Amino acid sequence: MSPYGASTGYGTVTKVLHWAMAVAMGIQFVLGYSIDRFDDLLEWAADLFFGGEEDWWIVPHAVLGATILVLACVRVWWRRVGGLPDWAPGLSAAERRVATVVERTLYVLMFAIPVTGLALLFATDTEWDVGPYEWPAPLPLVDDDAGLIVHIATHVVFLVALVAHVGLVLKHQFLDRDRLLNRML
């Protein structure tokens, strides 16, 4: 049992960190994919906030990515000092193994996604037009296409792991009806 939460559920700090990361990642995916794919959707915001320069979306995207990286560090630190509650009694041994693999994968990707994104900004051969400025990467070590492929690959793995995570919770919440979701609410 964790000294920071009941044995039947996660503590308050863990819950806040979990949901803060979920919200930050959700916003980040929408923002990131909006940069190149939904120009018309966010054109009004680019006009309002960035003087019509759509590449300025890179700035809040990068800042949020760096924030997610810091949040991931805090989560790992808190996990080490805060511990975990006991396993939910309704989880089978196989589900516990799946949950462990999925959780580890999500933790790795909480670092890999922002690191590969920041590498696109700082270590590829791309030049970004940010308002009246051109932002050349300070360390152009990698081709931007290769960097983008790696960054998007981390997204795909993340989304697969997220589907497994949410699927396991929903199975227990609605099919097994053992209120597994309440442990994180």
* Spatial separation of the C-alpha atoms in residues 81 and 2, rounded to whole Å: 9
Q: Is 33 helix (H, G, I), strand (E, B) or coil?
A: helix
Q: Which CATH number fits domain 12-184: 1.10.287, 3.40.50, 3.30.450, 1.20.950?
A: 1.20.950
First to last CA, the chain: 18
Tens of pLDDT along 34-57?
Answer: 776 655 666 666 666 666 666 677
Residue 126 contacts residue 144 (beta carbons within 8 Å) = yes
pLDDT tens series, the chain, 185 aa = 444 444 678 999 999 999 999 999 999 998 888 776 655 666 666 666 666 666 677 888 999 999 999 999 999 999 999 988 999 999 999 999 999 999 999 999 999 999 999 998 888 888 877 666 787 888 888 888 899 999 999 999 999 999 999 999 999 999 999 988 899 98
* Spatial separation of the C-alpha atoms in residues 105 and 73, rounded to whole Å: 15
* Spatial separation of the C-alpha atoms in residues 56 and 44, rounded to whole Å: 13
Q: Is 118 helix (H, G, I), strand (E, B) or coil?
A: helix
Residue of 120, 113, 114 whose CA lies nearest to 144: 120
- φ, ψ of residue 178 in degrees (nearest 5): -105, 15
Q: Is 85 helix (H, G, I), strand (E, B) or coil?
A: coil
- Tell me the two tokens of residue 82: 């805060």
pTM for the model stands at: 0.83
Domain locations in the chain?
Answer: 12-184
Residue of 6, 14, 54 whose CA lies nearest to 31: 54
